[in-house]
Amino acid sequence: MATVYANPLFRIDAIIEDGRPLLEAGGILAPLVAPSLKPINRMFREEKPIRSGDTVIFSTWAPPVPSRAFGRLVSAHVNAMLRRRVPDQASIAITKRCPNRCIHCGAADIVAEHELGLSEINRVVDESIAMGSYLISFDGGEPMIRKDLPGMVAHVDKELAIATCFTSGFGLTPERAAELRDAGLFAIRVSLDSPVEKEHDRVRGREGTFRDAMAAIKNAKDAGLLVDLFVVVSPHNIDDLDGFYELARTNGVQEISLYEIIAVGRWLSHEDEVISKNDVGRLLRFQEKVNREDDGPRVTAFPHFMGPSMFGCFAGRRWLHVTSAGDVLPCAYTPLTFGNVTEEPLTAIWQRMGKYAPYRKKAGYCLMRNPDFRGRYIKSIPEDAQLPYRVNV
């Protein structure tokens, strides 16, 4: 047993039971705290972890249990319960450059005339961790284009946070995979739009992207990295869930993350081509079915994870995103900025974001899928405005 959170009124302990972590509350206020732990414990109890033993890795999205970084995850959850905003997750687009032209790219309209330098990115990492982030994600564009990526990963304090990175597979050579492993990368997320090569290449706008992804998975596995297959689910590929799973299983991938397509960027005019409430239920049933099996990769369906029965939308409350030019967004899919890290501290921008009406309270599901939010805050952006659109609070 390890105490992962404590204050004068209650504590939270993590125990390993049958190879799975569980959280227990103790202290005077334990009866009030225990109900908030039920969603987490239900996942731990009913779904398989990636790796078990004295230390458990439940997901590529969570630090090992027990660890100091996992204690920070629990602390962030407690703060959310107490309605205090903590950016659990900080994602940083380290470049907008990319060899692909994905038809659903959410960053296509984001203006980034310059890229943050290594020292600026490291400062963002430090400030994010100081505010409570336990997950630092590097994305793009294509992050492998940045030759100084290993330096960014190495700078993350691994006692306090885990570092992960997205890639289309382009540029993830055996040498780069080894560099990232040596820098302390916790997991690599290889994105895939179809288990069928021709269709994946079509969506990515470049021939050879499927082969890039498969080579990246192999190179990351050979280097000893955890691999997450990241799938943006749309009405066009939701029938391919079994195909994605089989591809991940046969290639030794540890996790499949199912995200939902968002009508933003190049997909902005496709508001009628997003997943439905019934689709969210379908993803949950797929997750539950797969995660009851002892072997094979685990599945994390984010439309459920960030839905009303679990934790709700993270944007602006438990997630912040920094563009390659330094603009700070509530998430990677919301084209609203509340400031730029080259002009002021990240903490000040995060506090300003919290004063904006949509982020003052919990949202039951993705705000960018909420017609009321989109109508009031996204569709009202002037057509000639530069994105991300600067919000005055």
| CA–CA separation, 139 and 377 (whole Å) | 25
Query: Phi, psi (5° rounding) for residue 198?
Result: -65, -40
Q: How confident is the model at residue 113 (pLDDT cuts 50, 70, 90)?
A: confident
- Give tens-digit pLDDT for 20-62: 899 999 999 999 889 889 888 988 998 999 998 888 999 999 9
Residue 235's pLDDT is: 96
Q: Would you say the C-alpha torsion 157, 158, 162, 168 has a positive or negative sign?
A: positive
CA 328 to mean position of chain CA atoms: 16
| CA–CA separation, 143 and 203 (whole Å) | 19
β-pairing, 255-260 vs 226-233, is parallel
- Give tens-digit pLDDT for 314-358: 999 999 999 999 999 999 999 999 999 999 999 999 999 999 999
Residue 393's pLDDT is: 85
Residue 223's pLDDT is: 98
Average per-residue pLDDT in the chain?
Answer: 95
Q: How confident is the model at residue 63 (pLDDT cuts 50, 70, 90)?
A: very high
Q: Name which of 81-90, 91-100, 350-359 the model is least confident about.
A: 81-90
Residue 143's pLDDT is: 98
Tokens representing 41 are 């414990």
In Å, how far are 22, 151, 214, 261 from 103, measured between CA atoms?
Answer: 41, 31, 20, 11
Q: How confident is the model at residue 363 (pLDDT cuts 50, 70, 90)?
A: very high
pLDDT > 90 in the chain, percent: 84
Residue 74's pLDDT is: 92
Q: Which residues pair with 329 in a beta bridge?
A: 321
Three-state DSSP class for residue 145: helix
H helices of the chain, where? 30-46, 68-81, 118-131, 149-155, 174-183, 197-204, 209-222, 241-250, 277-291, 302-305, 346-353, 371-373
Residue 81's pLDDT is: 84
| CA–CA separation, 169 and 229 (whole Å) | 11
- Give tens-digit pLDDT for 236-269: 999 999 999 999 999 999 999 999 999 999 998 8
Asked if residue 1 has pLDDT above 80, the reply is no
CA 372 to mean position of chain CA atoms: 24
In Å, how far are 30, 306, 334, 375, 387 from 121, measured between CA atoms?
Answer: 39, 27, 21, 33, 21
Among 142, 145, 162, residue whose Cα is nearest residue 68: 162
Residue 303's pLDDT is: 93
CB 248 within 8 A of CB 189: no
Residue 61's pLDDT is: 97
pLDDT > 70 in the chain, percent: 100
| CA–CA separation, 43 and 38 (whole Å) | 9
Residue 158's pLDDT is: 98
Q: Calculate Rg over the CA atoms of the chain.
A: 20
Among 349, 306, 308, residue whose Cα is nearest residue 326: 349
Burial class for 17, CB neighbours closer than 10 Å (0-12, 13-18, 19+): exposed
Among 23, 14, 20, 17, residue whose Cα is nearest residue 294: 20
- Give tens-digit pLDDT for 138-161: 999 999 999 999 999 999 999 999
Q: How confident is the model at residue 310 (pLDDT cuts 50, 70, 90)?
A: confident
CA geometry: angle at 160 spanning 158 and 254, to 5°?
60
